[in-house]
Chains A and B, each alone.
Chain A
């Protein structure tokens, strides 16, 4: 039987750029170039490794990458396809502008159900919103187990097992498929797309869906449908550069004097 793996990937503004808010207090997606969230590369990598393991043991596997995002978000899908995913689903609709995590989780859940799945793989958090809750919301909406924030994992015999490093303890988790998992940036370096992979990606299928295809009403999503409102966004004043001294043998002492002046010593 074929293992159907769905990877959720987000197209985000480059974190090294000058990220800002638009006039309607949504993330400005024009000001800075977008890319596949670096933390979702780890999700794609783990999905590919699971699929490879599956094929090595004579079973079939298929990796589908899904994104909810504007037209440009296809770039994120192409990147994932060039890494080795088999096909892609792009949910795009003008009414999605300003959707919050509750709406996004609704749309993704419907898109995942539409695609069919045994295992959903997410990143640990998006690098823009960075809430880190979407995987748990998907598990809730799809009514399947969540095995999230895994730093090490394996899938065998219809079960996923993995290691979760919490604040107070490290836990080993086990859940039966179908399940939703998320993986951390400790789970293993993501591969770079090969030239062959980039060429192959151009021919891989990308299915585009809108809200109507998923049976979702416009009022359920978008800025007006959001369950939260951002009331203000203020740029933090840049930190003023302080005194920088070059060590001439007295650097440690001078630093101690600074700490004493500020009453830390």
Chain B
């Protein structure tokens, strides 16, 4: 049967959820073959097998941690040549997109980024994308070569589908470009204990209306009663009220949760680009004319400093 290469995003063997979603999509196209680079393959392999990986190709070398992107391209290219897949799926992170793009140009393949769905079509795999700040949905396929597709989080459910998951070492020869950009130091992001922004079922975001870093405590309190992740508008991030890693929008994260609560956010097109496809949208804003209300399933026109604490108390009371 046809094989599909799946690039694994993991931290020392802990496989991130978007990769498991890729395995669900990959199974629609053929047998998934996962590629695991760096330390921790032994821990990753059983999880990948549990979710459908027929084979797990592994390689570990200091180059993966010491140099940016290019060594991983060499490795994925080696896997591509070993497998001859019908498609290559890569998680849509900044790094994932760069790895995918460089692989695509090397192997002469059409590249599609930020897919929100992948299916089998008459002429090969078809990817769905959401474009122009989610105003349009497009479908595309590769006209040349094997499609290389990067996929956004939440594109598919995580499904158990036990497969062999045979671990095989992958031979990687690093090319002259591999050691071009040295990673001099790395500081891992500290966990907040809250759900991952792009994976959360509920996101509560704060904007310029919060009027100060200290007031984000209101957003965090509401988020914690709902088990939600915390987001922020660029205005709030630029003012240093909340870390950039929490920014939602065109130049931040795209989220598509079941519920998005926008507090003190006007709803500029660049913000909407990152949250427009949320299932249910709720807004609290003191300006009845704020564009965010055009998207809202439910909106409260009022002062967030009154509405949000009252909402948090009421949710807490209902949860008992």
Contacts and interface: CB of A to CB of B under 8 A. Distances in A.
Given A173-B183, A242-B296, A244-B301, A166 B94 contact: yes
B94 A167 contact: yes
B251 A170 contact: no
Interface string A224-251: 0011111111111001011111110101
A236 B177 contact: no
A184 B300 CA distance: 34
A172 B98 CA distance: 17
Interface stretch (B28-36, B52-60, B128-136): B128-136
B159 interface: no
Contacts of A262: 259, 280
B183 A172 contact: yes
Nearest to A227: B110
Given A166-B95, A174-B182, A243-B298, A130 B250 contact: yes
Contact of A227 (B145, B180, B244): B145
A175 B84 CA distance: 33
B259 A169 contact: no
A144 B288 CA distance: 52
A105 B187 CA distance: 32
B214 interface: no
B30 to A, nearest CB: 20
Interface stretch (B19-27, B40-48, B165-173, B308-316): B308-316
Interface stretch (A1-9, A145-153, A192-200): A145-153
Interface residues on B, range: 35 or more
A219 to B, nearest CB: 12
Contacts of B244: 151, 165, 186
Contact of B185 (A130, A137, A167, A171): A171
B295 A239 contact: yes
A61 interface: no
B97 A246 contact: no
Contacts of B211: none
Contacts of B138: 25, 230-234
Interface residues on A, range: 35 or more
Given A173-B183, A231-B140, A235-B136, A252 B314 contact: yes
A143 interface: yes
A140 B296 contact: no
A264 B259 contact: yes
A209 interface: no
Nearest to A143: B177
A171 B183 contact: yes
A22 interface: no
B306 to A, nearest CB: 6
Contact of B301 (A130, A135, A241, A247): A247
Interface string B275-314: 0100011101000100001111111111100111111111
A264 B143 contact: no
B69 A251 contact: no
Nearest to B285: A244
A136 B102 contact: yes
Interface string A250-264: 011111101110101
A80 interface: no
Contact of A101 (B111, B131, B293): B111
A29 to B, nearest CB: 13
Nearest to A18: B135
B296 to A, nearest CB: 6
A97 interface: no
Nearest to B297: A242
Given A173-B182, A262-B259, A241 B97 contact: no
B296 A105 contact: no
Interface string A139-163: 1110111111101000000000100
A133 interface: yes
B139 interface: yes
B5 to A, nearest CB: 18
Nearest to B144: A227
A230 B101 contact: no
A25 B141 CA distance: 13
Ranked 7 nearest A-B pairs via Cβ:
A252-B310, A247-B302, A145-B180, A256-B314, A133-B101, A242-B297, A227-B110
9 contacts: A102-B104, A102-B111, A124-B251, A161-B184, A227-B143, A231-B121, A239-B295, A241-B295, A258-B298
Interface of A: 15-16, 19-21, 25, 39, 100-102, 105, 124-125, 127-128, 130-133, 135-137, 139-141, 143-149, 151, 161, 164-176, 179, 184-186, 226-236, 239, 241-247, 249, 251-256, 258-260, 262, 264-265
